[in-house]
Structure 1
Amino acid sequence: MIVWLAELFSSHFSFLNVLTYLSVRTIMAALTALAFSLWVGPKLIRYLQTMQIGQVIRNDGPESHLSKAGTPTMGGIMILGAVTLSTLLWARLDNHYVWIILFTTLSFGAIGFMDDYLKVIRKHPDGLIARWKYFWQSVSALVIAFILYYTATTQAELTFVMPFFKEYMPYLGLLFIPLVYFTVVGSSNAVNLTDGLDGLAIMPTVMVAAAFALIAYLTSHVNYAHYLYIPYIPKASELVIICGTIVGAGLGFLWFNTYPAQVFMGDVGSLALGALLGVIAVLVRQEILLVIMGSIFVVETLSVILQVGSYKLRKQRIFRMAPIHHHYEKKGWPEPRVIVRFWIITIVMVLIGLVTLKVR
């Protein structure tokens, strides 16, 4: 919206041209999302406390978590609100990637909201029944996949990029649709499983989003794309703005979510943020990089799969508790130690992911 206004009045006020620059808009988008989160945060926390919308703690979890019972949850509303508002203000709204991002934010946010609502307000212990949650995630992901497939205008938008291989980028065709589906649904659930400690999920999300901001810029610049042997997708430029909003909103949320947390994001935040990372990875054609840079999300998910599979097949547990961050808590690690070490691992994996762009 602001870009349109700046272009409309730039003939009268030339200084408004600066608001059309991608770098300026990205910074302003991040700051807008950050300011919105810091402003709304205290008000939302007070409202959640007044309405007694507090986290339900499992009795079989780490004992240190029992003190968290009643901590306000559904704080992800703050993040999604900041991302949506900042995107509408600073992104070019004639780019259909922007509307796909907004659809992802709101659709997966709605699924998470319903899960949280049933869990903490209606007091259903399991929240939204798993098969219905997965059903609606699948519907949203398939809508995204089909839209992207039928609106693709270049072959580059439907290729599969392999790190370390500069010449091998096969055209996916209809296989693009299941790839999008599994990337978006898998990423959504992976971030959701990671969101079990104060700040554990949001900071890796911020780091990965910041890395994707750089990747989106390189992908949308013809010279950099050709130099790095990555698909050239000019429409990806607006994803830099989107990633900036995630960084700003995430840091604003972390202000209140850092240990000991004043508020939890709930499924309304984690499901949507995971889906956003998945969609952004798809749009810049870097699904493998999402796996590398978001390795913490992957490991958390694998720990649950292995734990459940082992118990069903052998009646034995591999970990003391899954997801794996609880395993380390059970081993006696203080919560802040688990969180910070997982952050450090994410930083390392993000750097490795970025290096793969050059090592080909």
Structure 2
Amino acid sequence: MKTILIAAVIALLTSVLCTPLVVVYFRKRGFGQEIRIDGPQTHLVKRGTPTMGGVAIIGSTVVGYAAAHVIIAIRGGGGPNASGLLALFLMVGLGAVGFLDDLIKIRRQRSLGLRARTKFLGQLLVTVAFAIMAIQWPNRYGDTPASTHLSYVRDISVIGLGSVGFVVLAYLIISGTSNAVNLTDGLDGLAAGAAAMVFGAFTLISFLQYRNPCGSHPLSGCYTVRDPLDLALVAASAMSACFGFLWWNASPAQIFMGDTGSLALGGLMAGLAILSRTELLLIALGGLFAAITLSSIMQTGWFKLTRRRTGTGRRIFRMAPLHHHFELAGWEPVTIIVRFWIMGGMAVAFGMGLFYADFIGNG
């Protein structure tokens, strides 16, 4: 537990202290945010605010994880494990895709970056590489970082996917979650605060799995997770990195995370769910992200359907994603952010309740 706290504290300090340096550097380089002209007009004043702040979140997460392993090595423990490194690989890989997207927006002075096909290809390559590696490297008990079974709070033994099926499922989970966080990142601090809560939940889940492993003597309710302590270190570091970044990203934001941060955070959430074998539970834990994504799907689907039938497309919301609907309805941005944080916290609490109910139910 002390090692997890060390990772969290170091990641927090790194994020709080280094993010202002990133702000200064990006301002000097002119790395400012472009704003959608069809969005809320109140956002136009944010044009030019430094973006790509996700590099601070990613860097702080890696530093926190690495520092924890330095402490472990000093105490005579082993080095980083496959699960932790795979989670960070997914975070950094998708962050790199987002970084290219942000960079193109800045260079071309527009709110659209990579073409959809190019962005899709980048996400596909990173995700497939992660999924293939995740079913390699079994430990002495034969457990690989990920399982080819669908999981809820542990593997559902009757639903086997096979290697190909697992790769497809991993892509759907990772791309869906990373794009969901990307959609949520539309108001100052909204995505960072909500993501910190989810990573906090994964820290606790992974720690409970670490304290109740199956190992060579499986007991009722034990967890077959390859490296739960490493996952807890990554999750705790990411949680603190988000909190540290939020200090500078809260309204009025001095820096935005950009696609660099949102794709990386969404990818890491999905990676933690896959590696901790809580894939379906992610829907509950990330309920806020799911709701915001659903609002965009409903808006687009209804518009296309009504345009096909009547020739004039109609909308369910004033604007999607959902938080922009409330902006156009006259809500203050800070009010929306806080209320959405409350919703995100309730979703995380519900997800943790489901996990803990299973934990208690299995003794």
TM-score by length of 2: 0.87
Which residue in the other structure is 1:5 paired with? none
Shift of 1:160: 2.4
Which residue in the other structure is 2:120 paired with? 134
Which residue in the other structure is 1:65 paired with? 43
**2-structure distance, mates of 1:114, 1:228:** 47
**1-structure distance, mates of 2:325, 2:115:** 26
Displaced runs of 4+ in structure 1, greater than 4 A?
A: 165-169, 223-228
Query: CA 1:93/1:186 → structure 2, altered by over 3 Å: closer, same or farther?
Result: farther
Q: Could you list the per-position Cα deviations for residues 226-272 of structure 1 after superposition, in whole angstroms to 9, with x for gaps in the alignment?
A: 77836321412211100111111111100000111111000111100
Shift of 1:171: 3.5
Query: Do the aligned residues in 1 keep the contact of 2:212 with 2:222 (CA within 8 Å)?
Result: no
Q: Could you list the per-position Cα deviations for residues 303-339 of structure 1 after superposition, in whole angstroms to 9, with x for gaps in the alignment?
A: 1112112222211111100111000111111001110
Query: Do the aligned residues in 1 keep the contact of 2:149 with 2:155 (CA within 8 Å)?
Result: no
Name which of 99, 109, 132 aligns with 1:146.
Answer: 132
Q: Which amino acid aligns with 2:340?
A: F
**2-structure distance, mates of 1:167, 1:251:** 34
Shift of 1:168: 6.3
Which residue in the other structure is 1:14 paired with? none
The answer as to 2:223 corresponding to 1:204 is: no
Moved more, 96-105 or 347-356: 96-105
Query: Do the aligned residues in 2 keep the contact of 1:157 with 1:231 (CA within 8 Å)?
Result: no
The answer as to 2:34 corresponding to 1:44 is: no
Which residue in the other structure is 1:157 paired with? 147
Spell out the pairing of 1:287-298 with structure 2 (5 A cutoff): 287-298=279-290
Spell out the pairing of 1:1-360 with structure 2 (5 A cutoff): 23-91=1-69, 93-152=79-138, 153-154=142-143, 157-162=147-152, 170-174=159-163, 175-222=165-212, 229=221, 231-314=223-306, 315-360=313-358
Query: CA 1:51/1:292 → structure 2, altered by over 3 Å: closer, same or farther?
Result: same
**2-structure distance, mates of 1:50, 1:182:** 38
Query: Do the aligned residues in 1 keep the contact of 2:214 with 2:223 (CA within 8 Å)?
Result: no
Moved more, 88-97 or 216-225: 216-225
Query: CA 1:191/1:347 → structure 2, altered by over 3 Å: closer, same or farther?
Result: same
In structure 2, the gaps of 5 or more residues are: 70-77, 307-312, 359-363
**2-structure distance, mates of 1:33, 1:166:** 31
Query: CA 1:332/1:321 → structure 2, altered by over 3 Å: closer, same or farther?
Result: same
Query: Do the aligned residues in 2 keep the contact of 1:75 with 1:269 (CA within 8 Å)?
Result: yes
Query: Do the aligned residues in 2 keep the contact of 1:222 with 1:232 (CA within 8 Å)?
Result: no
Aligned pair count? 337
Q: Which amino acid aligns with 2:148?
A: L
Moved more, 174-183 or 239-248: 174-183
Query: Do the aligned residues in 1 keep the contact of 2:35 with 2:111 (CA within 8 Å)?
Result: no
Query: Do the aligned residues in 1 keep the contact of 2:12 with 2:243 (CA within 8 Å)?
Result: yes
**1-structure distance, mates of 2:290, 2:90:** 21
Q: Could you list the per-position Cα deviations for residues 117-161 of structure 1 after superposition, in whole angstroms to 9, with x for gaps in the alignment?
A: 000123254111111101110111111111112335338833323
Query: CA 1:158/1:39 → structure 2, altered by over 3 Å: closer, same or farther?
Result: same
What is the CA RMSD across the aligned residues, in angstroms? 2.2
Query: CA 1:345/1:178 → structure 2, altered by over 3 Å: closer, same or farther?
Result: same
**1-structure distance, mates of 2:213, 2:180:** 34
Query: Do the aligned residues in 2 keep the contact of 1:236 with 1:284 (CA within 8 Å)?
Result: yes
**2-structure distance, mates of 1:40, 1:118:** 24
In structure 1, the gaps of 5 or more residues are: 1-22
TM-score by length of 1: 0.88
Query: Do the aligned residues in 2 keep the contact of 1:220 with 1:232 (CA within 8 Å)?
Result: no
Query: CA 1:228/1:129 → structure 2, altered by over 3 Å: closer, same or farther?
Result: farther
Query: CA 1:125/1:264 → structure 2, altered by over 3 Å: closer, same or farther?
Result: closer
